[in-house]
Each structure stands twice: as structure tokens, then as C-alpha cells.
Amino acid sequence: METVPCPHCEAPLKPTATFCLACNTPVVRDTSRLSVGEPTRVHVGRPIVGIAMILGAVLLVGGAAYGTLAFVHHRRAATTSQATRDVTRATDLLVNAQAGKDSACRRVHSLLAGPVEVLRTECDQVLGKDPGVRLDKVVVDRVQLAGKSGTARVRATVTDAAGTRDLDQVVHLVEVGKQWRLSWNGHPTV
């Protein structure tokens, strides 16, 4: 078997050897070396940082959008609930005024739209018009609010001297401050 000396330690090697076991070094002949350019650094961290920044931005924008939608939905639901409470209370007070409870006229003006003096005068005109009137189970639904005005459907059972009947009427609303007031034309809804 033919051998060649190791270029580093002179130990005998096979002609096809690429590594010397005696000196633990690679053996490459000058004629078989490849021409390789300068080594270049690979920046693995940069794409990961970029992807993380993009993902963070998407999460931030998505979270902000979700938070805004949740806030708007909550604000709208709170406004609708407030309008429902205000319409129910105003309807109840108007019927109480018609039944003759003068304290109702003192309290109802904060739930009706218009100048306080006019509302008190109009309420005093219906005071005691139907002493036996009674309102049972008021339901306010189909509340539609747009800007500073809106409508709501009032359903109730009314009992008076004429008997018992169902009330089903759409009323108009006006926002004053953070409160919804019933647009009232001087006549109770029943």
C-alpha cells in the first residue's frame, strides 16, 4: 500500500486521506483546495426582531380597536339603559299626576323636555283629571337613539274609570346633559 507523509507531522497517510489521526489536523493538498470568499456574518436576530415588532404593532392596533369597540358598545348600552329608565319614570309620574298626585308634577319636570315653568303649568292642568287611573307593568323597548334625539316604545296596562286597556305608543326623546327627557305635548300618554 502506498502512503504519503502528513504535511504537519510526517506520519504515513493514505493518498486519499483528508485527516491525520496522529496529529489531529485536517490534510488538504494545495491542488485540491477550493477558492472560498471571505466569510460573511449571518444576522439571524434581525428578522426575528422585525417580526416581533410587526406582531407587537398588530396586537397594539388590534387591542386598541377592540377596546374602542368595547367602550362604544358599553357607552351605547349605558345610554340605552338610562333612556329606558327615564322614559319609564316619566310615564309613571305623568300617570300619577293625572291620578291627582300633586307631588308627581314637582318631580316630573326633570324628566320632560321644555322650560320648567311651562311643564309645571301643563302638568297642573292635567292634575287630577282621572283620579282612578293606574299604570301596571311599564315596558320600554325599541329604544332608538341618534345624537341628541330618539324614540322609544312604551307598552303598559292602564286601568281607569273606563276599564283596563293596553297602551302601546312611541314617544320622542331629547337628550339634555346625560339624561334623556320625554318630549311631552302637555297631555299624558294615557
Q: How many CA atoms lie within 13 A of 9 on its CB side?
A: 12
Query: Is residue 60 very low, low, confident or very high in pLDDT (cuts 50, 70, 90)?
Result: confident
Give the pLDDT score at 7. 87
What cell numbers appear for 68 in the block? 374602542
- Region 17-33 average pLDDT: 78
Q: Regarding predicted confidence, which is higher, 105 or 142?
A: 142
pLDDT tens figures, 81-99: 777 788 778 877 777 777 7
Residue among 145, 160, 162, 166 at smallest CA distance from 87:
145
The owner of cell 273606563 is: 162
- Region 67-82 average pLDDT: 61
Can you tell me the distance from the alpha carbon of 96 to that of 70, in angstroms, rounded to the nearest whole number? 39
Residue among 24, 27, 30 at smallest CA distance from 7:
27
Indicate the pTM of the whole model.
Answer: 0.53
CA angle 97, 151, 186 (to 5 degrees): 30
Give the pLDDT score at 105. 75
Q: Regarding predicted confidence, which is higher, 70 or 8?
A: 8
Query: Is residue 112 very low, low, confident or very high in pLDDT (cuts 50, 70, 90)?
Result: confident
Can you tell me the distance from the alpha carbon of 150 to that of 174, in angstroms, rounded to the nearest whole number? 7
- Region 4-22 average pLDDT: 89
pLDDT tens figures, 145-164: 888 888 888 888 888 877 88
The owner of cell 504519503 is: 4
Give the pLDDT score at 9. 92
Mean pLDDT of all residues in the chain? 76
- Please name the amino acid found at residue 141: D
Q: At 122, is the secondary structure helix, strand, or coil?
A: helix
Structural domains of the chain, with CATH: 1-30 (no CATH), 75-183 (3.10.450.50)
Residue 62 has pLDDT above 60, yes or no: yes
What's the distance, CA 90 to chain centroid? 30
Partners of residue 19 on adjacent β-strands: 26
Residue 183 has pLDDT above 80, yes or no: no
What's the distance, CA 86 to chain centroid? 24
Give the pLDDT score at 11. 92
Q: Range with the lowest mean pLDDT among 31-45, 139-153, 165-179?
A: 31-45
- Based on the number of CB atoms within 10 Å of its own CB, is 116 exposed (0-12), middle (13-18) or buried (19 or more)? exposed
157: Cβ–Cβ under 8 A, 6 or more apart, which residues? 135, 136, 137, 164, 165, 166, 167
